[in-house]
Amino acid sequence: MTSTHTTEVSTRRQTYTVPTHMNEPDKLLFGLTARQLLVLITGASVTYAIWLQVLTWAMAWGGELLWSRGLALLVVLPLILVTLAFTFLQIADRSLELWVVVWMRARLAPVTYVWRSAKWDEAEQRRLRARKRAHTRQEEHSQSEHEQEGWS
């Protein structure tokens, strides 16, 4: 007696998860990226250090505690705003520090402005074309002389 054993091939679809946010930076803490966290911590540290300095100076000058705190707040308020701008502000999907680097490179790069009249440009173009034609004729003449002498 022979028995037939049939193997049933099951075709199961395998599903894969395709990452869709490959160009997005990872969020580390409180929904902030590593760059944002670093800028925020650095700005907060510098702001706090300046706050303490101004508070110490104002107290040394004989100011009251409330007046000294008010002065210190006025001094560090622009730093707080700059820190928040550098942390969260993006223009055209680029961070603010990138725009500062671009601006600095543009300001530091040497720039030369040359004024030329439209008539000068036309005359210069004619001279350049004439030089090019003369150079081409000279090459053709040189090549024909070489062919006549037996050069190939």
Q: How far apart are CA 6 and CA 148, in angstroms?
A: 88
Q: What is the pLDDT along the chain (152 residues), one digit of tens a residue?
A: 555 555 555 567 888 887 777 777 777 778 888 889 999 999 999 999 998 998 888 888 877 877 888 888 899 999 999 999 999 988 898 889 899 999 999 999 888 887 766 666 777 888 889 999 998 888 887 777 767 666 55
Query: Residue 109: exposed, middle, or buried by beta-carbon count in 10 A (0-12, 13-18, 19+)?
Result: exposed
**Strand pairing report for 90-91 and 94-95:** antiparallel
**The pLDDT of residue 115:** 76
DSSP 8-state secondary structure symbol assigned to residue 15: -
95 DSSP β-pair partners:
90
Domain boundaries, the chain: 27-108
Q: How far apart are CA 6 and CA 9, in angstroms?
A: 9
**The pLDDT of residue 126:** 86
**Angle, CA of 20, 24 and 30, to the nearest 5°:** 120
Question: The whole model's pTM is what?
Answer: 0.53
